[in-house]
Structure 1
């Protein structure tokens, strides 16, 4: 191969640039930190294994280096906290912060300005607890009606077996309807434009996250700046959804204000979150201005981010888990038939509580969802020392090693990756109950406040679907879940529905 004198400076420059980047990005680990897993490739570190072989790679690291341990991914050191260390992260809520850790990789605050604001997020949690969880029995009948409407619309008549593709989030609308009923009331929860806005909101936002974080090798904030450039130049993939909600919500709010003024003490407040907000001092108003609408819609979309997308994915995954296991069909179906006869088709919270086999099945589906690592937290203190004596510095991202928690042999036996449909039933663990071996909804004070509503909704949906349809996979076998990097997703093969004979 011939090299001219002109090429020598270029080669030297590339070499120098590579060395400088390597020197700048070389991880600097103090002596007392968790062990750093060795890697072969400078700059790249463990990134390829993390993206394409996370389950096996991290299991080997855990076995060899204990808990917690450090790896080098996308230009930064992250700490993996598994079944022993993760509990410390969730316990020390002032030291470890979730929102601070996700701002670079999930910059939703660029379009929902109050997303991540501590005061707003605290208000969201309070609203869920007071406005939804505490009143869940009052919502049950309405949720059931919305679910049945959605099932008839999204699945419909299956006199002949019907294959329904799930890759495009068909069940997002199924979940969006009851959520819309609870959030914005019965006046507009039947509006298909509103349902589409709710169902597609988070999917459209994640379109800006399609660019792999290659620039994070330089610095995570460089990647964030690049992927959010379109937003700063006016492109807003979710702006249309906010406009839709504002359009239909404004007349509802204006009518309620008029009715309050006309009827006074005789005003009968509707049961929904917008009414709950109208009665709070921070949202009290006499005129529905555009700014007021923006604030209340932004608040509502924060709910949507944390509810519809996640709930619909878990419902879809649970349907696949059921469809691929014919040995469970009769047992779980018989429970639903018995409960349906008891309630004469009108479920109450007490009847939902009696779905103990279905609840246990749903819990196991959650545990086997397939996500390897998730829920990052940033260390905000100058340093933090784990109980095993290992210390991490301020700013370190600590990832929750979910598979180490959900597949530990102490809790789930010698074959923890097997599907144990009645493990929760035998051990008196409900699907919404968090414990040290089940982090689907987080842990401790950080546990998801909407988990009761989500499980309530999924169980009701599963109950109605199982009662009305035989469900199979196209292959007749258990379909393999999809994984994007470390994040699990439901299979995409589709589900076959066929009417049950009444």
Structure 2
């Protein structure tokens, strides 16, 4: 009897388990069908989105082309390879390519580069671009290429140029002594120590790298104080910040072949998602130092009251602005303000200084004449070797040398501007809104009517009697742009270069290791300082 009950129980359990398995199997089928339908629906929606998006892009493209065909556009240079257009020639043979285009198509012409039509403007019409700031904008064009607002997200709507104009440039005379002292100490740190007391000359490679650190020292002093200018971590950040962020300007915009502006859009996504942001490490260093300085200054001001010695630098100016809350300091905002100034101040000054240094090393025949001028000027220096601010005006030959070095910087086209509204040039050719236009600077620099005889040759003293200072912009000289938006920091940069060159000409003899003229490095239509080596030795007095 017990055996029968056991068998019946086992039989019931078997059938019960079978029912459960059947239910589970049906449920799995339903789930599988549900997700299959869901995936199919997702695919359908994805395909619909792609199709609708493609139709929208094509419609926008067609409508734009219809609008453009109504304009008297500059001639588009012929090209053989679809999509690629003129990109290869523009990158690898820029000088000859642009020169040939001008010869064939005239002063204003267009080329197809990186998936976009761009217009090149020659010397006859450059001033239209530089003077009409309501039609052409350098800053709008720059923002379309460089994602500064997401790299420095705590900067807000503050303009770096406005900060410099208000807090730095009006004090050039005041900062002169500090600039010279910082340059002396930096030169001693980065050049003198390496040379030492040895009679043997010392070989220095990559002058831009060296110049960036030397130039960063007085700028750090003026921006965040003397203590910061002696901190190696701060100097490294000042020297390398622009170089690290410039990756977004250097990387070729391959994605723009798919759609203009796509590369910039992807760069912004990469930064916003936290995948890559080269500014962060520099921001952390600056926040640490600024916090230390700000706390120290606030405590000392409260402790000493009216007898407190106020630091004279950009950081203190910002801390005394209306709206600054000493009880709730936004250190990230302060750091981003400093970073924005670094991007504007360091690279161009260090590049100009490296070029001038290399140009003189490449042409030692001019060394003695410049040396004699600096000896005469240095008679006005005090016991510490510090010159009065007015002594800069007496470095006429040196100023001319620097201007010639800047004139022949080596760029083929530069000063990219965005067209804000349809524009008609004086010759009747028109460019549409949103077009990017470039100045053919080599056309300006190589023109005899603008530059005088032998415009292609480096003649260091051609500007001595021409009343043309290195900081003076004009139709024949545009390393600092032109018009009312010309670089306002050019006076600061030229002063720093002149003080540095004055110092090294008096202290050293230098020449290129190759014994030849070192040319600029070419990166597409742009030029960078030579990476050639320089031999430096102490001058025998």
TM-score (normalizing by structure 2): 0.83
Q: 1:455 to 1:288 in 2, by over 3 A?
A: farther
User: By how many angstroms is 1:30 displaced?
Assistant: 4.8
Which of 311, 327, 342 is the aligned partner of 2:349?
A: 311
The equivalent of 2:30 in structure 1 is none
Q: 1:209 Cα deviation (Å)?
A: 4.8
Cα offset for 1:333?
A: 1.0
- The runs of at least 4 consecutive aligned structure 1 residues that moved more than 4 Å come to 23-31, 262-267
Q: Mapping of 1:434-453 within 5 angstroms?
A: 434-453=473-492
SS of the residue 1:471 aligns to:
strand
1:343 is aligned to 381
Q: Is the 8 A contact 1:209 1:227 kept in 2?
A: no
Instruction: Establish whether residue 140 from structure 1 lines up as the match of residue 176 from structure 2.
Output: yes
Shift of 1:188: 2.0
> Distance between the aligned counterparts of 1:179 and 1:90, measured in 2?
29
Shift of 1:140: 1.0
* 1:296 aligns to 2:334 (yes or no): yes
**Residue 281 (structure 1) aligned with residue 322 (structure 2):** yes
Aligned positions of 1:68-83 closer than 5 A = 68-83=108-123
- Of 265-274 and 469-478, more deviation after overlay is shown by 265-274
Asked whether the 8 Å contact 2:418–2:437 carries over to 1, the reply is yes
Is it true that 1:431 corresponds to 2:470 in the alignment? yes
CA distance in 2, matches of 1:469, 1:96: 45
Deviation at 1:127?
2.9
Which structure 2 residues correspond to residues 60-459 of structure 1 after superposition, within 5 A? 60-113=100-153, 119-121=157-159, 124-157=160-193, 158=195, 159-166=199-206, 169-234=209-274, 235-282=276-323, 284-289=324-329, 292-344=330-382, 345-381=385-421, 383-459=422-498
**In 1: Cα distance, 2:347 partner to 2:259 partner:** 29
- SS, match of residue 123 in structure 2: coil
- State the Cα RMSD in Å: 2.3
Q: Distance in 2 between matches of 1:221 and 1:97?
A: 17
Which deviates more, 239-248 or 90-99? 90-99
Q: Distance in 2 between matches of 1:279 and 1:375?
A: 35
Pick closer, same or farther for the CA change 1:30–1:130 going to 2, 3 Å: same
Q: Sort the Cα spacing of 1:285 and 1:24 in 2 relative to 1 into closer, same or farther, 3 A.
A: closer
Q: Secondary structure at the match of 1:169?
A: helix
Tell me, in whole angstroms, the C-alpha distance in 1 between the residues paired with 2:395 and 2:204.
Answer: 26
Residues 93 and 233 (structure 1), Cα distance of their counterparts in 2 relative to 1, 3 Å cut: same
Counterpart in 2 of 1:12? none
Aligned mates of 1:437, 1:30 — CA distance in 2: 34
Query: How does 1:48-63 map onto structure 2 within 5 Å?
Result: 48-63=88-103
Number of the residue aligned with 1:7: none
Tell me the residue number matched to 2:25: none
**Cα 1:114–1:52 shift into 2, 3 Å:** farther
TM superposition shift of 1:276: 1.6
How far 1:460 moved relative to its partner? 0.6
* Matched pairs, number: 475
Q: Find the partner of 2:504 among 454, 465, 479.
A: 465
CA spacing shift, 1:244–1:288, aligned 2, 3 Å: farther
1:187 shift after superposition: 2.9
Assess, with a 3 A threshold, how the Cα gap between structure 1 residues 308 and 442 changes in structure 2: closer, same or farther.
same
**Matched-pair contact (CA < 8 Å) for 2:211–2:350:** yes
Q: Following TM superposition, by how much is the alpha carbon of 1:414 offset from its aligned partner in structure 2, in angstroms?
A: 4.7
CA distance in 2, matches of 1:30, 1:440: 35
- Secondary structure at the aligned position of 1:445 is classed as helix
In 1, are the aligned partners of 2:186 and 2:214 still within 8 Å (CA)?
yes
Between 189-198 and 104-113, report the one with greater CA deviation.
104-113
More helix by percentage: 2
Q: Which blocks of at least 5 consecutive residues in structure 2 are unaligned?
A: 1-53
Counterpart of 2:9 in structure 1 is none
Q: CA offsets, 1:120-147, max 9 Å, x none?
A: 22xx333323322221111111111111
Question: Which stretches in structure 1 are left out of the alignment for 5+ residues?
Answer: 1-16
CA contact (8 A) 1:114 1:120 kept: no
